[in-house]
Amino acid sequence: MFFPYFYFDPTIIILIPGILIALWASINVNTTFNKYNTVLSRTGLTGAQVAERVLHHHGIYDVRIERVAGNLSDHYDPRANVIRLSDSTYNSTSIAAAGVAAHEAGHAVQYAQNYAPIKMRASIVNVCRFGTPLAFVFLLLSFFVSYEASGTLILIAVALYSLATVFQLITLPVEFDASKRAMVSLEATGLYGTDELAGARKVLRAAALTYVAALISSILSLLRFVLIATGGRRRR
């Protein structure tokens, strides 16, 4: 009788905490957004109008605001100098929409004011995008060269794989700063009451935790990659 053999990689256990944290963060941000998406602001301003107010508050008038399909697909595109707000934000007058729109406007303000971390993130994004697949290529090559040469290839592989973690590490202050700018701008307009500002802050805090979860997951993934790479070298 044939019994299939399944190989269990024990290093996969390292990823479990990151997966659980990321799952919790995702549930938390969706729950928080949905809660405050039903709370309409007393001003009646849409997400698009809020983003515009934040931009104007900082003397920025050359950034376009467009609608993009999807839910929570909001983002600022620095190449086109456009803030794209999702269906759940663009025309919505909810507190959640106000917070999200102000946050994306915060990113536009960061670029306008030459905020160093966001410039740094933009400069390495393409390198980081190809770092992970290239890391596995170098790791694979390390099995076909001499023991001495394999050490160099593994170091290169680890360095390439670590770029994803570096990217997440830089992203964290960028996102927190954008949310801080958003809240300062919303408070400065005087359009929102204390309870409304508190709701917007909770939405942004929940969103920020997803980036914390992403960083933790990236660090754990890097640790696993290092263990796999060095473990394969020891078995040679």
> What is the set of active-site residues?
104
* C-alpha to C-alpha distance for 54 and 52, rounded to whole angstroms: 5
Question: Do 128 and 167 contact (CB within 8 A), yes or no?
Answer: yes
Distances (CA, A) of 169 to 6, 68, 72, 158: 36, 28, 22, 16
* Strands (E) located in 36-163: 64-68, 75-77, 82-86
* C-alpha to C-alpha distance for 88 and 177, rounded to whole angstroms: 23
Q: Which two tokens stand for residue 127?
A: 């390198």
The rounded Cα 174 to chain-centroid distance in angstroms is: 9
**Which amino acid is located at 90 in the chain?**
Y
